A and B are shown apart, each in its own frame.
Chain A
Amino acid sequence: MKTLLKVEDIHTHIGQYHILQGVFFEAREGEVSVLLGRNGAGKTTTLKTIMGLTPASKGIVQFNGQDITKKPTYTIANGGIGYVPEDQGIFGDLTVEENMKVAMRKEDDVAFARQDYVLELFPDLKTFWKKDGGHLSGGQKQMLAMARAFVNDSKLLLIDEPSKGLAPIVIEKVMEAITEVKKSTTIVLVEQNFMMASRIGDRYTLIDDGETVHAGEMADLIHNEEVKRKYLGIG
């Protein structure tokens, strides 16, 4: 299977802090790669470094065979990487419809067909279509954040903690949507909820103290009690 994203020994500094100190991982086409680790391990920073939001001071990020390490964020996004940040990043003064239109960029038949597909995944959004993004609940914001990322038919989606702070029923909807999108898009998922991660993940990378400490098939990790206890505090 073709490697779509390759992260090689990336180091990232934020101010005086050396956050990432050697992260390696690959995302293969058509798979869901999950980044696991404790709080503060460096998972979110890894996604931000891939997006160019906190550029790497050392190492290489390759997407679709091209080095994107030093590219500006908008070029990376236009190259086919969609990003759902941990804080959702909803534009509060724009309506749900306007949030979607900003994300779509073009307003042609192809874009509207894609929007219809996304609204089938998140039908609840239709109910709040004219409501300001700032007036949505946490679950509705998460759905909108994901819908905005899905609407562009990206080659790769980076999704940061989609279940964080959500009610179980909303988590289930989010899971269903990711499972559906997984059929056509490669996904890199950061997730604290191991149950959710193990259900949809194909491969995993464990990050601890800013470096990759373990990687492999998700099916193997499910039965590896020692690694789960040592790095995730479960089992």
Chain B
Amino acid sequence: MKNKFQWNNLFLAIIVVVLVVFPFVSDSRTWTILLTQIFIFSILAMSYDILLGYTGIVSFGHAMFFGMGAYTTAVMLKRMEPSIGIFILSVVCGMLLAALISFFIGLLTLRLKSHFFAMLTLAVSGLFLVLAEKWRTVTHGNDGFTFKAPEFFKDRMMFYFVTLICLVLVYLLLQRFVNSPFGRVLVAVRENEQRTRSLGFNTLHYKVMASVVAGVIASLAGSLYAVSLRFVNTSVLTMDITLDALLMTIIGGVGTLIGPIVGAGVIELTQHYLSGLAKDYPIFERWIIFFGIVYILAVIFFPRGIVGTVREKLWKRKKKTRPVEKREVS
């Protein structure tokens, strides 16, 4: 794992340098906005990877934590002053709310077998969606509402750097988390929960904590998403958001952390490119069909996700070139 850790960091460092330089060499507003969206969805997808990739939990309700962050930030910035201080406070409040809710939901539902848990998360997420629709005095129902972002974020480039910093910090934090003894137990739970229990671990405790960490990070992504649009409505709580996170994780590679970032990039760029083709080729007005074909091809050619499959191929090549492996305990 240590070796993977170093390669991941090197890869990320190169990408980060390119992304830091990018706004200074390109004045494309479209690309700045698109990359900002990719950063935000990468954070969401990484949070989902903690559940699916590292703990083996399938949740269909992850959007509720994303929505919690988005609504908390939007409501606080609208009702209080749109300052950077209130923004930070709203992010912290959203995270605390997500931590509390994910803790109780996890405690009540994670005892169940995986498919029952998945269905329950869908039901609870539906409850939050209905709550947002009906609590019109605060959420303005399905129509949603606009709000002013802090002055600091009016410059798109500033917001670009804020989301990039958040992405890097979340990545490093989660990498530390999954490589810690706690993270090792999460992988053990995913691999064989019964065996992990018989080694003396209260697996429910570990699953609940993973769910809290995933919920808190998803809430951060939601807060950033709301500010990027200066608008929020109930779409942030829908199943589409969860499915996006799920697909980004699966296409990028589950249990890799870097995979969801790659997945978010591939999906957002493909969406952008295919929908853009409609201007010149009318057939691409139905771009969603082509998008589906891209998904299918990705799953066929990268069964373990892009990063997972590349790693596997590298490992096999390494094994072929070095058949006898003799390493001593350090």
**What is the interface of chain A, defined by CB distance below 8 A to chain B?**
51, 53, 72-74, 76-78, 83, 85, 89, 91-95, 97-98, 101-103, 105, 107, 119, 126-131, 148, 152
Contacts and interface: CB of A to CB of B under 8 A. Distances in A.
A102 B184 contact: yes
A72 B184 contact: no
Given A53-B198, A72-B202, A129-B329, A101 B181 contact: yes
Contact of A148 (B199, B203, B326, B329): B199
17 contacts: A53-B197, A72-B197, A74-B197, A78-B200, A83-B198, A89-B192, A89-B198, A93-B187, A93-B255, A94-B188, A94-B191, A98-B1, A102-B196, A105-B200, A119-B329, A126-B329, A129-B329
Contacts of B45: none
A233 B190 CA distance: 40
B197 A85 contact: no
A102 B185 contact: yes
Interface in B147-205: 181, 184-185, 187-188, 190-192, 194-203
B325 interface: yes
A221 to B, nearest CB: 29
Interface in B184-236: 184-185, 187-188, 190-192, 194-203
A77 B325 contact: no
Contacts of B192: 89, 91
Contact of A73 (B187, B198, B328, B329): B198
Contacts of A83: 198
Contact of B327 (A91, A92, A130, A152): A130
Contact of B198 (A51, A95, A131): A51
A53 B199 CA distance: 12
B191 A91 contact: yes
B198 A85 contact: yes
A92 to B, nearest CB: 6
B201 A74 contact: yes
Contacts of A152: 200
Contacts of B191: 91-94
Contact of A127 (B196, B198, B325): B325
Given A93-B191, A101-B181, A129 B328 contact: yes
A127 B197 contact: no
Contacts, number: 76
A77 B181 contact: no
Nearest to B205: A74
A95 B325 CA distance: 14
Contacts of B195: 85, 89, 91
A51 B197 CA distance: 10
Contact of A91 (B187, B202, B329): B187
Given A98-B1, A101-B181, A77 B198 contact: yes
A184 B295 CA distance: 57
Nearest to A149: B199
A119 B330 CA distance: 13
Given A126-B329, A127-B325, A129-B329, A74 B184 contact: no
A103 B326 CA distance: 24
A89 B197 CA distance: 11
B184 A94 contact: yes
A95 B328 CA distance: 14
A53 B202 CA distance: 13
B1 A103 contact: no
Scoring B184, B188, B198, B327 by chain A CB atoms within 10 A of each residue's CB, the highest score goes to B198
A155 to B, nearest CB: 13
A129 B328 CA distance: 7
Contacts of A92: 191
A28 B327 CA distance: 40
Given A95-B1, A126-B329, A53 B184 contact: no
Contacts of A51: 198
B325 A107 contact: no
B273 to A, nearest CB: 34
A191 to B, nearest CB: 19
Contacts of B325: 127-128, 131
B167 to A, nearest CB: 25
Contacts of B181: 101-102, 107
Contacts of A77: 197-200
A152 B198 CA distance: 12
Contacts of A76: 198
B329 A74 contact: no
Interface in B53-79: none
B113 to A, nearest CB: 14
A73 B326 contact: no
A47 B328 CA distance: 35
Given A98-B184, A119-B329, A127-B328, 8 more contacts: A74-B198, A89-B192, A93-B191, A94-B1, A101-B184, A105-B199, A126-B327, A130-B327
